[in-house]
Chain A
Amino acid sequence: MAVKEDKMEESKIESEDSEEPRIGVFVCHCGHNIAGTVDVAKVADYARTLPNVIKAEHYMFMCSKPGVQMVKDSIRELGVNRTVVASCSKNQHGLTFAKAIAEEGINKHRHQQVNVREYCSWVHKKDETKATAKALRLVEAGVNRARKLQDVETRRISTTKAALVIGGGIAGLRSANDLAELGIPVFLVEKNSTIGGHMTQLNKTFPTLECPQCSISPLTNGVANHPLIELYTNAQIKSVEGSLGNFEVEIEINPRYVKDNCTSCGECSLHCPVEVPSEWDKGMSMRNAIYKAYPQAIPATFVRDKKACIECNTCINICPVQAIDFSMQPETKTVKVGSIIVAVGYSEYDPTEIEPYHYGQEGYDDVITQLKLERMLSPTSLTNSEVLRPSDGKLPKSIVMIQCVGSRNDQVGNQYCTGVCCKFAIKNARIVKEMYPDTDVTICYIDIRTPGLNFEELYKSAQEVGVRFIRGRPSEIIKDPISGKLKVIVEDTLSMTPLQLRADLVVLSAAMVPPEGIGPLGSKLKVLRSKEGFLKEFHIKMNPTLSSKGGIFLAGAIQGPKDISETVAHAGSAAALAAAPLVKGYIEREMLVPTIDYDLCVNCGICKTICSPAAIDIDENGRPTVNKIACRSCGMCMPSCPMKAIQLINFTDDQLYDEIIAVSGGGAVCE
């Protein structure tokens, strides 16, 4: 197929070469906008003298109906096959003329727009001679460029009506649900045994102190039971092939070792002799080797942790429905999808690398992170929603929260502000203070950042209940050698006083960092990452949901730290963008793509390394090939080629040379 296409292209180029270029030049007065500064008659006269120019005219308003008709007539009567219109910018009326020549049966890419208004007459109003001289150069450049313009075909690519969502957190669930509601079959891949992500671990959500489990459960249930959503838990992406509209993805599904007929009665877990810390509970409770992450977990089927299991077979014998089967094997499934949404979320920053805070070190059990505090406060916790010191199980008399742990910190390499730590620290501080009015709750901050509706009110309400705020980043957490009490050393930078805060419990507001395993996933998807490690969006303002590669979209915290409301909005936007080509059924692409001259190509592969949308692949013969659908026509590959073998159609070195010669005035300096 590919060979056939290449042959077709070659024959087309040959036929174009044999055809004599007949160029029509039209100079617009634009009322007095151009004609007031530039001598349009002179420009038209000069254009007439240029080689291959059949007709050169000037007219009052080229974009008006008679003006466009002039262009059309020249094609019909004089056989003009390339048009140059010297008027306004390409964005304004380039398309008007391109459409007009297309109506006459000439490829619209054979139109060359020369901007003599914004780039010439409007900016050089004071000097008419110079403006006219510049206009002559610009028009000559346009004619030179038009001479070698080639046809660019528009190809319609049909899309596979299915989508893949990677990650079953709030972002993944939201986008999977939105896609399925549009009638698109969705494959939802989750790494863990349950869906719901970080949101299910939280105690309350800011600013309204709502129960996150109640907010997310309609979504988890809805997704799990949706007829169009196929859910794969304990699964990961093995490989991704293809491009925009047609991807082929291999999914590796690890077995649960429990069949779907499990009634989730919990007998197996009750009799399991193995106990390991629960990952879902952030190590604040224990789970068995056969377990369900939490009582409300979806899917409700139990799962066996093969690494922890000692294979005593107690559960197999005790299961009333014989659902447990240790012989299950991992399986690989290949799915064909049109769009991919990456919603793998974030990880909580591990503060162990910040030495002075002693997190995770022996004797410093009372230094915990905010997620652990959330787990303690949660209604399903081992402590019965009480805040207790992990070291001795007593009620803390003073709690110190430290902000910006791992964010806004050059030493650990994270310059960004996570943006949500202030909000959740204030929320937790207020909840704790309301539960235990006698406990001192202090927040050490650099800046309190609570933008947005209702967040400043949350901050005020925390101040009102008596949460103490100290401006200063703590330098160290020390342990009193005699009493064994923790002390936080901080300078209150507002009153310039060094302080030693007694702390029974220290809570670190750890940053949101890219999730573990994003590196291998990113390289499988061939998308670019930002320097912080998150996946990079296409454009920070205009398209924050598209990734560097067409057809792959980002949802939620994988693009950058976000709170739940932002994540839901972001995920909805990703779903809408991902659905558009699938609902329509096709994508129309102009084949403004580079072609590779294999006679010159030396298979060095530099073009592949520079291509940001990863549109250049190396085929089995070691030759680079251009994926015409993934290509974004930026032309970055062109200068990277040491052999000038790769050339972007209509922007080739040859064509640019012709334009440069005219613009820079001809006269060669060195021969």
Chain B
Amino acid sequence: MSDCEIPDEYIQERIQNIVVFMCNECGQGSANTAGVARMSYDAAIRIIRVQCTGQVGPIQIMEALNNGADAVACVGCCLGACHFFNGNVISMHRIKLMKKLFKELGYSDQFVNQYTSRAAEGETAVGDFEDIIDRLTTAIQEKGTIKDGC
């Protein structure tokens, strides 16, 4: 897909639905802070509350992608500050493996990501959301996501 130019409007239209798993602690906290500060981000971002990003496995990620999500991301606490010890690190390893899987299947590896955020700083969450969309845009432009070919 990399040969032909994809217009921005198409990408804008393509990005409808991004599932973000946010942990009950810093992830939720930062999204709440962003809301209170009236920061704005893309309406495609849909948040699902989980206890810890360590709770999100390949099953959940594949279910989301299979049911129409354009991209999936996990947002946890900062490294070293996980409220359940190392859930964010475990999740990071899982996402790394998922990326590898998608790459081997011939897709882009940019539409499944792991992020961290700080509950006191809404900017961190909004920054993560913007990065999700940036990476998804690259993914669509380069090798395509799971939605592009099945």
Spot the interface stretch: B1-9, B42-50, B133-141.
Answer: B42-50
A407 interfacial contact with B, CB 8 Å? no
Name the one of A127, A548, A639 contacting B55, with C-beta atoms under 8 angstroms.
Answer: A639
Which residues in window 28-74 of B have CB below 8 A to A?
Answer: 28-29, 31-32, 34-36, 38-41, 43, 46-52, 54-60, 63-69
Is A670 in contact with B66, judged by CB distance below 8 angstroms? yes
Known contacts A639-B55, A663-B48, A123 near B34 by CB under 8 Å: yes
Q: Which residues of A contact B60 (CB under 8 A)?
A: 639, 653, 656-657, 660
Contact with A118, one of B17, B36, B43, B147 (Cβ below 8 angstroms): B36
A126 touches B40 (CB 8 A): yes
| A634 & B59 in contact (Cβ 8 Å cutoff) | no
| A125-B38, A657-B63, A668-B68 known; A119 vs B86 contact (CB < 8 Å) | no
Asked, given contacts A141-B48, A540-B80, A660-B19, whether A639 binds B35 with beta carbons under 8 Å apart, the answer is: no
Contact B81 A636 (CB under 8 A): no
Asked whether any CB of chain A lies closer than 8 Å to the CB of B132, the reply is no
Judge whether A118 and B85 touch: CB under 8 Å: no
Inter-chain CA distance A120–B56, complex, in Å, is 23
Point out the residues of chain B lying under 8 angstroms from A130, CB to CB. Answer: 43
Is B144's beta carbon under 8 Å from chain A? no
- B50 to chain A minimum Cβ distance, whole angstroms, is 7
Q: Tell me which of A538, A612, A666, A669 has the highest count of chain B C-beta atoms within 10 A of its own C-beta.
A: A669
Bound CA–CA A159/B93 (angstroms): 38
Q: How far is the CB of A576 from chain B (nearest CB, A)?
A: 21
Does B32 contact A664, Cβ atoms closer than 8 Å? no
Contact among B35, B86, B150 for A670, CB-based, below 8 A: B150
The reply to whether A639 and B87 form a contact with Cβ atoms under 8 Å apart is no
Report yes or no: B31 in contact with A118, Cβ–Cβ below 8 A: yes
CB within 8 Å for A656 and B65 given contacts A123-B35, A612-B84, A635-B54? no
Contact call A634/B35, Cβ cutoff below 8 A: no
- Expressed in whole angstroms, the Cα–Cα distance for A357 and B80 within the complex equals 34
A408 to chain B, nearest CB (A): 19
Residue of A nearest to B43 (CB): A130
Asked if residues A667 and B68 are in contact (CB atoms below 8 Å), the reply is yes
* A113 → chain B closest CB, angstroms: 9
Let me know if A322 is at the binding interface, CB within 8 A: no
Whole-angstrom distance from the CB of A194 to the nearest CB of chain B?
36
The answer to whether A122 touches B63, judged by C-beta atoms less than 8 angstroms apart, is no
Chain B residues, CB < 8 A from A667: 67-68
Q: Are B68 and A665 interface neighbours, CB within 8 A?
A: yes
Most buried by A among B39, B63, B146: B63
Question: Does A528 lie at the interface of the complex (its beta carbon under 8 Å from any beta carbon of B)?
Answer: yes
Distance, CA A131 to CA B94, complexed state (A) = 32
Chain A nearest CB, measured from B119 CB (Å): 10
What 0/1 readout, one digit per residue, does chain B (82-96) give for beta carbons within 8 Å of chain A? 011111001000100
Total cross-chain contacts (CB, 8 A): 152
B residues in contact with A634, CB < 8 Å: 51-52, 54-55, 84, 87
Task: Indicate the size class of the contact surface on chain B.
Answer: 35 or more
* Closest chain A residue to B145, Cβ basis: A669
Question: Would B28 and A90 count as touching, CB distance under 8 A?
Answer: yes
Taking CB atoms, residues of chain B closer than 8 Å to A131 are: 43
Given contacts A651-B51, A666-B67, contact A119 B80 (CB under 8 A): no
How many Å from the CB of A531 to the closest CB on chain B? Answer: 10
* Nearest-Cβ distance from residue B68 to partner chain A, whole angstroms: 4
Q: Is the CB of B55 within 8 A of A635?
A: yes
- Determine the distance from Cα of A648 to Cα of B39 in the docked complex, in whole angstroms: 34
A597 to chain B, nearest CB (A): 16
CA distance A613 to B84 in the complex (A): 8
Interface residues of B in 100-150 (CB under 8 A from A): 146-147, 150
Determine if A118 and B35 form an interchain contact, defined as CB atoms under 8 angstroms apart: yes
Chain A residues near B58: list those with CB within 8 A.
Answer: 639
**Which of A118, A125, A127, A651 makes the CB contact (< 8 A) with B50?**
A651
- Does A661 touch B at the CB level, under 8 Å? yes
CB-based nearest A residue for B146: A669
Assess the A669–B48 pair: CB atoms within 8 A: no
How far does the alpha carbon of A633 sit from the alpha carbon of B83 in the complex, in Å?
A: 11
Chain A residues in 8 Å Cβ range of B41: 123-124
Chain B residues whose CB sits within 8 angstroms of the CB of A528 once the complex forms? 85-86
Complex contacts, A507 vs chain B, CB 8 Å? none
Which of chain A's residues 112-164 have a Cβ closer than 8 Å to chain B?
115, 117-120, 122-127, 130-131, 133-134, 137-138, 141
- Whether B35 contacts A119 by the Cβ 8 Å rule is yes
Complex: how many Å from CA A133 to CA B16?
Answer: 11
Find the B residue at minimum CB distance from A131. B43
Give Cα distance in the complex from A123 to B28, angstroms.
14
Across the interface, do A664 and B69 meet the contact criterion of CB distance under 8 Å? yes
B38 CB → nearest A CB, Å = 5
User: B34, B56, B66: which contacts A639 (Cβ < 8 A)?
Assistant: B56
Task: Report A137 CB to chain B, min CB distance, Å.
Answer: 6
Q: Are A610 and B31 in contact (CB under 8 A)?
A: no
Q: Please name the residue on chain B nearest to A91 by beta carbon.
A: B32
User: Which A residues lie within 8 Å of B29 (CB)?
Assistant: 91
Instruction: Give the residue name and chain of the A residue nearest to B24 (CB).
Output: A90
Which residues of the other chain, A, contact B85 by a CB distance below 8 angstroms?
528, 536, 538, 548, 612-613
Option from A126, A613, A659 in Cβ contact (under 8 Å) with B48: A659
Which chain A positions have C-beta within 8 A of B80? 540
Name A592's closest neighbour in chain B (CB-CB). Answer: B51
Q: Is the CB of B48 within 8 A of A123?
A: no
Question: Complex: how many Å from CA A634 to CA B150?
Answer: 34
A241 nearest CB across to chain B (Å): 22
Nearest chain-A residue to B47 (Cβ)? Answer: A119
A656 and B48 within 8 A (CB): yes
A470: Cβ under 8 A from any B Cβ:
no
Interface string of A627-671 (1 = CB under 8 A from B): 000001111101110001000100101001101110111111110
Q: Give the residue of A126, A536, A669 whose beta carbon is less than 8 angstroms from that of B68.
A: A669
B106 → chain A closest CB, angstroms: 15
Q: How many whole Å from A36's CB to the nearest CB in chain B?
A: 12
Contact residues, A538-595 vs B (CB, 8 A) = 538-541, 548
A464–chain B nearest beta-carbon distance, Å: 41
Cα–Cα, bound, A216→B75 (Å): 48
Residues of B within 8 A of A536 (CB): 85
A664 near B68 with CB under 8 A, answer: yes
Alpha-carbon distance between A633 and B43 when the two chains are bound, in angstroms: 31
> Please, how many angstroms separate the alpha-carbon atoms of A653 and B146 in the complex?
22
Chain A residue with minimal CB distance to B41? A123
A14 to B64, CA, bound (A): 29
Asked whether A134 lies within 8 Å of B147 as measured between CB atoms, the reply is: no
A89 part of interface (Cβ distance < 8 Å)? yes
Question: Which residues does chain A contribute within 8 Å of B36, judged by CB atoms?
Answer: 118, 122
> What are the 5 A-B residue pairs with the smallest beta carbon separation, nearest first?
A639-B57, A118-B35, A635-B55, A636-B54, A634-B84
Known: A133-B43, A141-B48, A636-B52. 5 other contacts (CB 8 A): A120-B43, A134-B43, A651-B50, A663-B64, A669-B150
Q: List 10 A-B contacts (CB under 8 A).
A: A89-B28, A91-B28, A134-B46, A138-B46, A539-B81, A610-B90, A639-B59, A651-B51, A666-B68, A669-B65
A interface residues, Cβ below 8 angstroms from B: 89-91, 115, 117-120, 122-127, 130-131, 133-134, 137-138, 141, 528, 536, 538-541, 548, 610, 612-613, 632-636, 638-640, 644, 648, 651, 653, 656-657, 659-661, 663-670
